[in-house]
């Protein structure tokens, strides 16, 4: 059962990381369905195409609490509440665990988990009051698996999976749905950025040979045609948002299903060998 278009027009959505990729594609689909959409990112100027389509741009750095508070207060004043929160912002800072500065690890947790958590805390009171809310957390199949040099990234996504499960249990009595969306390989700049960071962090030193090989492989994959378009994930998010009874989890995109199947049924050592051979 889907939410009617008349209901959609009354619902207010806040989506983070909307300046490109999955966030941009999802916003376009939500606007087409008649939602009132606030788009958030650090660089507002990169969301002007969405503003021209009818979205409202909000400056938001998830590492700055004052910006998180200001964004929520602004939307609540204008609309009364935030009915749907799509936590899409995040990044992958790759490098050997020995090489990545702990401060960079902390920053990745600030963006991928703590900023997201703070934003969620602030929208929950109105959702509880209205006895309605949908929170969609975009994790990754990287929240279920692991790859060489992605330790900090995987740590944030594994944490977000468990955090989301707990949130779902706590908020269910108040009519709030918490949904996890786990993309596989998606054609965005994410892979190139992660690969460049990997070369910068571990391209010399003890891990250089494996790191440079992995970075080259990432560039090749993200320059090719095998990955899924961001619209594939956007369609899944829209399905979760419009469903009266959404699933707790959706996986979508290139190799998401096969990889999760392998992780579920293979031993750690077997999975290690497969992942290592692909790096």
Give the contacts of 171 (CB within 8 A, at least 6 positions apart).
124, 127, 128, 133, 135, 178
Give the contacts of 30 (CB within 8 A, at least 6 positions apart).
13, 15, 37, 238, 241
Inter-residue contact 192 to 216 (CB < 8 Å):
no
Active site residue 153: yes
In angstroms, rounded to a whole number, what is the distance separating the alpha carbons of residues 146 and 136? 22
Which position among 38, 146, 153, 222 bears the catalytic label? 153
The helix-helix angle for 65-79 and 115-130 (nearest 10°) equals 20
Any idea which residues carry the catalytic annotation? Answer: 153
């Amino acid at each position: 059962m889907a939410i009617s278009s008349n209901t959609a027009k009354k619902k207010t959505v806040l989506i983070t990381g909307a300046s490109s990729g999955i966030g941009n594609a999802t916003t376009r689909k939500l606007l087409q369905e008649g939602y009132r959409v606030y788009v958030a990112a650090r660089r507002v100027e990169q969301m002007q195409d969405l503003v021209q389509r009818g979205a409202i741009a909000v400056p938001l750095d998830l590492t700055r609490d004052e910006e998180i508070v200001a964004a929520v207060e602004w939307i609540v004043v204008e609309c009364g509440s935030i009915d749907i929160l799509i936590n899409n912002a995040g990044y992958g800072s790759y490098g050997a665990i020995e090489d990545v500065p702990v401060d960079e690890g902390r920053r990745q947790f600030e963006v991928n988990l703590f900023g997201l958590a703070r934003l969620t805390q602030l929208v929950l009171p109105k959702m509880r009051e209205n006895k309605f809310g949908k929170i969609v957390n975009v994790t990754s199949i990287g929240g279920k698996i692991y790859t060489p040099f992605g330790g900090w990234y995987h740590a944030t996504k594994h944490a977000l999976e468990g955090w989301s499960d707990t949130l779902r249990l706590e908020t269910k009595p108040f009519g709030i749905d918490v949904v996890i969306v786990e993309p596989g390989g998606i054609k965005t700049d994410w892979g190139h950025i992660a690969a460049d960071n990997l070369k910068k962090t571990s391209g010399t030193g003890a891990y250089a040979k494996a790191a440079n090989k992995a970075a080259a492989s990432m560039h090749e994959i993200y320059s090719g045609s095998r990955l899924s378009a961001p619209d594939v994930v956007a369609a899944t998010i829209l399905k979760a948002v419009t469903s009266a009874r959404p699933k707790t989890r959706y996986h979508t995109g290139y190799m998401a299903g096969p990889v999760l199947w392998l992780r579920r049924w293979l031993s750690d050592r077997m999975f290690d060998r497969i992942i290592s051979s692909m790096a």
